[in-house]
């Protein structure tokens, strides 16, 4: 028998949740690509945290006698046009990426969840107003909208994060609302209401937990897009400003030298690709485990 059965009945909600998480984890492990994604994401976090110890040199230290050197034993990824070690810059760039990802999640998750569940649960005028507003945002494709926001706010890392968050919120809110609508009409919600639970309590304790699985999947998959958008903004010079070692900005500055000094753009680009791919793989794997009905 290949199936896994519960060996004992859970005695408390906590134990039930733990059991579910455990078996979900076992199912997740069966998907090699998803596990690979998870490993890379964890690697990103590790590298970002341990950057000072992993980087071989100071990412900001310029040495004009060491300009544009190809990869070597001393500079694993070569040096850039002002003599900075590319390897260290890519390593420190992971910090910027991680910060962007974390900030976006920290902003979008609670706000999107709040808007979506409130709109879905309250219904009526509140729902209409909130959804029309998100519709306006959804009328614009992602990068263009982010560009418009950056235009209004000015360049810089924080503004880029805000711009990206604003573009991601509407889609997230819509999903939360869709999930809320499904849950809203179920019997256990009605039972809660009969027992006199307040709307806030119902939303927080019952609706939100039901939304979590598909929202986690969606959030993870969006991270890939967030990283690409952030890199794109950086490439245009609208993200983290120099001398910050943001990967997209590094691609932009390396552009002029690319023809004769190929290492200038290869490694930051590969880093972006690797991290984005990892989040996509992780998100796919999570979806197979948490939300199988949404995939064919």
| Under rule CB under 8 A, residue 235 binds another protein | yes
Is the Cα torsion angle 208, 214, 215, 217 positive or negative in sign? positive
| Under rule CB under 8 A, residue 258 binds another protein | yes
Tokens at residue 30, please? Answer: 């069966």
What are the phi and psi torsion angles at 241 (to 5°)? -90, 155
One residue of 59, 93, 120, 142 binding another protein per CB under 8 A: 142
| Under rule CB under 8 A, residue 68 binds another protein | no
Q: What is the CA radius of gyration of the chain?
A: 23
| Under rule CB under 8 A, residue 143 binds another protein | yes
Is the Cα torsion angle 166, 168, 173, 176 positive or negative in sign? negative
Give the span between the Cα atoms of 103 and 148, in whole angstroms. Answer: 20
- Shortest spacing between CB 92 and another protein, in angstroms: 19
Give the span between the Cα atoms of 109 and 2, in whole angstroms. Answer: 37
**Residue (212 or 265) nearer to another protein, CB:** 265
| Under rule CB under 8 A, residue 228 binds another protein | yes
| Under rule CB under 8 A, residue 166 binds another protein | no
Give the span between the Cα atoms of 47 and 98, in whole angstroms. Answer: 10
One residue of 59, 93, 120, 232 binding another protein per CB under 8 A: 232
In the complex, the residues that contact another protein under the rule CB under 8 A are: 1-3, 139-145, 147-148, 150-152, 154-155, 224, 228, 231-232, 235-238, 248, 251, 255, 258-259, 262, 265-266, 269, 272-273, 276-277, 279-281, 284, 296
């Amino acid at each position: 028998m290949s199936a896994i059965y519960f060996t004992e009945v859970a005695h408390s909600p906590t134990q039930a949740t733990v059991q579910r998480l455990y078996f979900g984890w076992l199912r997740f492990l069966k998907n090699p690509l998803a596990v690979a994604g998870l490993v890379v994401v964890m690697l990103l976090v590790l590298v970002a945290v341990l950057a000072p110890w992993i980087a071989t040199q100071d990412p900001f230290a310029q040495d004009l006698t060491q300009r544009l050197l190809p990869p070597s034993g001393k500079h694993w990824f070569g040096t850039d046009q002002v003599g900075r070690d590319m390897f260290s810059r890519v390593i420190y760039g992971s910090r910027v990426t991680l910060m962007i990802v974390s900030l976006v999640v920290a902003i979008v998750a609670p706000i999107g969840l709040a808007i979506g569940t409130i709109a879905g649960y309250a219904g009526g005028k509140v729902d209409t107003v909130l959804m029309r507003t998100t519709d306006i945002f959804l009328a614009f494709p992602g990068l263009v909208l982010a560009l418009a926001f950056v235009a209004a706010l000015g360049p810089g890392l924080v503004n880029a994060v805000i711009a990206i968050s604003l573009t991601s919120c509407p889609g997230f809110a819509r999903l939360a609302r869709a999930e809320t609508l499904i849950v809203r009409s179920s019997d256990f919600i009605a039972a809660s209401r009969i027992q006199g639970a307040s709307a806030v309590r119902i939303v927080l304790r019952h609706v939100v937990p039901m939304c979590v699985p598909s929202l986690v999947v969606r959030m993870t998959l969006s991270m890939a897009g967030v990283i690409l958008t952030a890199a794109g903004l950086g490439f245009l010079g609208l993200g983290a400003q120099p001398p910050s070692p943001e990967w997209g900005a590094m691609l932009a500055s390396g552009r002029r030298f690319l023809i004769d000094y190929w290492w200038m753009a290869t490694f930051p680009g590969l880093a972006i690709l690797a991290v984005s791919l990892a989040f996509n793989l992780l998100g796919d794997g999570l979806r197979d485990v948490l939300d199988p009905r949404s995939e064919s």
